[in-house]
Amino acid sequence: MEYKKSPDGGWGWVIVFVSFCTQFLCYGSPLAVGVLYVEWLDAFGEGKGKTAWVGSLASGVGLLASLGCGLLYTATVTITCQYFDSRRGLALGLISTGSSVGLFIYAALQRLLIDLYGLDGCLLIVGALALNILACGSLMRPLQSSDCPLPEKTALENIPDRYSIYNEKEKNLEENINILEKSYSGEETCKSTLANGDWKSDSLLHQNPTTAAQTKETETYKKKVAERTYFCKQLAKRKWQLYKNYCGETVALFKNKVFSALFIAIFLFDIGGFPPSLLMEDVARSSNVKEEEFLMPLISIIGIMTAVGKLLLGILADFKWINTLYLYVATLIIMSLALCAIPFAKSYVTLALLSGILGFLTGNWSIFPYVTTKTVGIEKLAHAYGILMFFAGLGNSLGPPIVGWFYDWTQTYDIAFYFSGFCVLLGGLILLLAALPSCDTCKKQLPKPAPTTFLYKVASNSSNV
C-alpha cells in the first residue's frame, strides 16, 4: 500500500502535538514508577526482585494498562512517520519528549500526591488524568493510500462478490440451494413415510394451497441461508488468507539480518537499560546517600535529560551525512559503559551525573522508529514496529526483576548493573556486525582494475641505413 506524499507540516503539527500529549499522559507515570517502587517496598515488605515485578509489568507487558500504552505508542509513532519525511527525525524527537517530560513532572507529582492522599489516592488521580488521552486520539487522522478511497459499508447481497478474491473454484448460490433442497426433500420424505407409510403421499401435499405457500416460504428461506453460507465461507477464507499473508510478511521481515539484529538489540537494551529508571532511587538509598543531599530526585534528572537526548538525537537523524543506525549503535555502547560505572558511584553527585548520561542516551528512542523505517520501509513500519515493541515490552518486564534478584542474592547492586551493561553492549555489537557491509558486498563494489598496458618503443629502420 502506497500512502499519499507526506505533507511535512500542516495537520502534521497537530499530530505532533497530540502525540506529545498522548505519550506524556500515557508514559509519565509508568516511567516514574521508581518513586512508587520505594513505597511498595515499605508497603509489601517483600524482596526487591519480587516487588520489581509490579513496576516492570506496569511498563512492560501483561497488564491492561501496559497493553494500552503499547498500542498508543505504536499509533503515535506510525502516524507521525506517515505525516513527515524530510523532518521525520525532528517530529519523532518532539513527540517522544512527551514521555520524558511526563517522567520529570510525574516523579514530583506522584511524590506530592502520596504525601497528600496516600498511595491509593495517588494511583486513582493518575488514572483519571490518563482519560484525557481520549481527546487526543480524536484528533488523529491517518493518511489514506493514494489510490484507495475510504471504505464504505455494503449490503449483504453485495458482499460475496466483493470477497471473491481467490482463484480456486467456488460453489455458487445455485449449488448451495440444490444441496439444501436435497436435504430438505429427504427430511420431508422421511416425515411422510412415518406418518402414512406410503412413499407416494408427497404428491398429495402439492395439491394443497397451504402447502404450496409453505413451499414458497421454504424456498425463500433456503436462498437466504445459501447466501449467508456463501458469505461466511468467503469471509473465513479471506481471513485465513490475511493470516497467511501476515505470517509470510513476518518471516520476510526476519530474513532481513538488520531487522533480526535490531530485534535482539532492543530486547537486550530494555533488559539492561530500563532498570535504572525504576531502581535508581533505591540505589542511592542502598549507597547510604542522605536525603538532605538530594537537590533533585534522580528519576527527575533521568527524565529531563531523556527529553534533551530525544530532541538532539532526533535533530541529528535528519542530517544526510549521519548514519542513524551507527548513531543508535553508538548510544548503546556508551550506555553499557555508563551502566557498568554505577557500582563505583557512592555519592549523590556521581549518581546524578550517571543519571544524566543514562537519561540522555535513553533518548535514542526518538531515532529508533527512524532506524526501523530505514530498515524495512514506511509500508512495513506498523507491522515491524509492533513486533519490536512487543519484545521491548518483554525486556522491560524482565529487566527490573532480574536486577532485583541479583540484589537479593548478593545484597549489592554491583553484579546487577554489570549484567545490565553486558546485555546492552551485546545488543549493540550484534547490531553493529549486522549493519557492517559483508566482505562479499565489499568485493562486488570494488571496481575491477584496468588491464595493464605496456608501451614498447620500436626502433626506426631508417636509423640503421
Instruction: Compute the distance between CA of residue 327 and CA of residue 308 in angstroms, rounded to an integer.
Output: 16
CA dihedral 365, 368, 369, 371 (to 10 degrees): 160
Tell me which of 85, 117, 142 is where a domain ends. 142
289 and 398, same domain (yes or no): yes
Q: Under a CB-based contact definition with an 8 Å cutoff, are residues 314 and 77 in contact?
A: no
242 and 360, same domain (yes or no): yes
pLDDT-derived band of residue 129, with 50, 70 and 90 as boundaries? very high
Confirm whether 407 is domain-assigned: yes
Confirm whether 69 is domain-assigned: yes
Instruction: Compute the distance between CA of residue 431 and CA of residue 67 in angstroms, rounded to an integer.
Output: 27
- CATH number for the domain spanning 288: value is 1.20.1250.20
HSE-CB at 87 with a 13 A cutoff on CA atoms is 15
pLDDT tens digits for 91-111? 888 888 888 888 888 888 888
94 and 241, same domain (yes or no): no
Confirm whether 109 is domain-assigned: yes
Residue-range definition of the domain harbouring residue 416? 233-437
pLDDT-derived band of residue 58, with 50, 70 and 90 as boundaries? low
Whether 366 has a pLDDT exceeding 90, the answer reads no
- Give the three cell numbers for residue 76: 503515535
257 and 136, same domain (yes or no): no
245 and 380, same domain (yes or no): yes
Confirm whether 446 is domain-assigned: no
**Residue 439 neighbours by CB distance under 10 Å:** 8
Tell me which of 73, 107, 142 is where a domain ends. 142
Residue 8 pLDDT? 77
Count of the separate structural domains present in the chain: 2
- Give the distance from CA 126 to its chain's centroid: 24
Close Cβ partners of 438 (under 8 Å, ≥ 6 residues apart): none
Give residue for cell 528512542: 365
Residue 261 pLDDT? 93
Confirm whether 105 is domain-assigned: yes
Distance separating the N- and C-terminal Cα atoms of the chain: 83
138 and 249, same domain (yes or no): no
CA angle 144, 145, 146 (to 5 degrees): 115
116 and 240, same domain (yes or no): no
Confirm whether 282 is domain-assigned: yes
267 and 387, same domain (yes or no): yes
pLDDT tens digits for 160-200? 444 443 344 444 555 555 554 555 454 444 444 444 444 44
Lowest mean pLDDT among 38-47, 233-242, 390-399, 418-427: 38-47
Instruction: Please give the radius of gyration of the chain, using alpha carbons only, rounded to the nearest integer.
Output: 33
Mean pLDDT score across all residues of the chain:
76
- Give the three cell numbers for residue 413: 547492586
Beta bridge partners, 145, equal: 3
pLDDT-derived band of residue 66, with 50, 70 and 90 as boundaries? low
Whether 369 has a pLDDT exceeding 80, the answer reads yes
Whether 358 has a pLDDT exceeding 90, the answer reads yes
Q: What pTM was computed for the model?
A: 0.64
Which residue has better confidence, 208 or 228? 228
Give residue for cell 535528519: 318
Confirm whether 228 is domain-assigned: no
Smallest Cα–Cα separation from 364: which of 412, 288, 311, 292?
311
Confirm whether 176 is domain-assigned: no
Phi, psi of 206 (to 5 degrees): -70, -15
For residue 43, count CB atoms less than 10 angstroms from its CB and return exposed for 0-12, middle for 13-18, buried for 19 or more: exposed
367 and 242, same domain (yes or no): yes
Whether 429 has a pLDDT exceeding 80, the answer reads yes
239 and 347, same domain (yes or no): yes
Close Cβ partners of 147 (under 8 Å, ≥ 6 residues apart): 2
Instruction: Compute the distance between CA of residue 80 and CA of residue 139 in angstroms, rounded to an integer.
Output: 13
Instruction: Compute the distance between CA of residue 234 and CA of residue 240 in angstroms, rounded to an integer.
Output: 10
Looking at the chain, the whole-number percentage of residues with pLDDT higher than 70 is: 72
pLDDT tens digits for 248-295? 888 888 899 999 999 999 999 989 888 787 778 778 878 777 776 777
pLDDT-derived band of residue 402, with 50, 70 and 90 as boundaries? confident
Instruction: Compute the distance between CA of residue 283 and CA of residue 287 in angstroms, rounded to an integer.
Output: 6
137 and 268, same domain (yes or no): no
374 and 241, same domain (yes or no): yes
Q: What is the mean pLDDT of residues 62-85?
A: 75
Instruction: Compute the distance between CA of residue 194 and CA of residue 188 in angstroms, rounded to an integer.
Output: 10
Q: What is the mean pLDDT of residues 315-334?
A: 91
CA angle 9, 14, 19 (to 5 degrees): 115
Residue 244 pLDDT? 83
